Amino acid sequence: MTPLHGFILHAYTQPEKADAFEALFRAYVPLSRQEDGCIEYHMLRDQLDPTLFIFYEIWQSREHLAVHENLPHMKQFFEQRMDYLARDFEVRMIDMLSPSSATR
């Protein structure tokens, strides 16, 4: 079985921008989940540090992930990310080795 590709991303927001960041990305979640090749797309907020958002995304292939990253709204956000963030993203690229539980 070919592993699925994705990443875990930590986004530390500026405290006064955390709620705006959440509102912006909440709107992207359902759209991203409908994209071709999206297996998992989750946005999480840390309970102890409400300025920390964690994204867990799994895509069918690196090509599907590249299409997602190059959509106009994602490119625009990436260019403006530091308006929201206290420091740049921390990203770990991952391969998903176990089957997805999303189809249960």
pLDDT tens readout for residues 61-73:
989 999 999 999 8
Q: Which domains does the chain have, with CATH numbers?
A: 26-96 (3.30.70.100)
Q: E strands of the chain, at which residues?
A: 4-12, 38-45, 52-59, 90-96
The model's pLDDT over 20-49, given as tens digits with 9 standing for 90+, comes to 999 999 999 999 999 999 999 999 999 999
Element (H, E) at 26: helix 18-33
Please report how many Cα atoms fall inside a 13 Å half-sphere around the Cα of residue 80, on the Cβ side. 9
Closest CA to 63 of 25, 43, 40, 36: 36
